[in-house]
Structure 1
Amino acid sequence: MGQDFLSKALGLHQANPDKFPEAAIHTLCLTNFGAGSDTTCISVPSFSFSLRTRRASSSLCQGESEATPTGLPLARVVPYGGVTVSGTFFPEGTVVGVNSWVAHHNTDVFGPDADEFRPERWLTQDKERLSMIEAYWIPASTNTPARSVGPSVQVVGR
């Protein structure tokens, strides 16, 4: 696993303190903490509201609510030889990523109702479809250098 966000910021400061002063580290840390807190504060009530308004989904999710989700990294490093995506070439070693909202609303993956809260879509018996859904699911940017505070708060709360 790579360095965490703070280690990378401290490395930038040590390499070039004039261009990346300590004040920049403080600003970045506060920004990340605030952004993570904001997404957590929005996600939890939204999820709760969706469960309350859809009783069938709520009974399906009861057991799932106590399970720890598997995180997928947002960032990927382009492998040897590079890759062309939608006509754009990315050389090897380039860090690329995907916007999780866009990935989660991909109708080719999640179906024509991708915009609807429908947790039962994960209960499909079609293993190929389930594999594709799981490959596209990116919860709370876990396992990335700029991870959200949400998963940590979840673990502490248990």
Structure 2
Amino acid sequence: MSGISSATAQAETSLALLAAFRVALADEPEVDIALGYRWPPVGYDWVSVLDTESEIDPKNIGPARQLNETLTVTVNVGSWNPEHDDDQREVTFRRAFAILGTIQTHIRVNDIELGGAVLWCVPGRSSSTGATPEERAQFGEFTEISATFVAQHRIRTFQ
């Protein structure tokens, strides 16, 4: 059954998101897509699948020992350019948010169940401190976004 298993779906959800990001960004091979941070960086643009969190509300456990699991996966999306000027600052800012928008749209429109790993997945919160702080601008311009995807999965004891 789609989105239902006998244990947590934390690993499967993170890996399914990784696969969805690769599909969404298939036309942009320069974007580095990785599980965890990659060091040293491979390119100027990246998407990294980071933390995963599972939450179960015990109030909803029924006689069949079925429970709903809410999964939150944090990703890091970013863009960097070695040049330092206001034009490049805006370019990296727009680029990072364009990458995030592409993957959010793909999941909402084309892969809301993440290939059957979950019942549904939607974009969650996102935050960014904006563009490069002046004290770090000598290294180029960059924008990083911390974003989440929230998914629902059902844990059911199969007998």
Q: Please confirm whether the aligned pair reaches a TM-score higher than 0.5, indicating the same fold.
A: no
User: What is the TM-score normalised by the length of structure 1?
Assistant: 0.23
- Report 1 or 2 for greater relative contact order, CA contacts < 8 Å, sequence distance ≥ 6: 2
Greater radius of gyration (CA)? 1
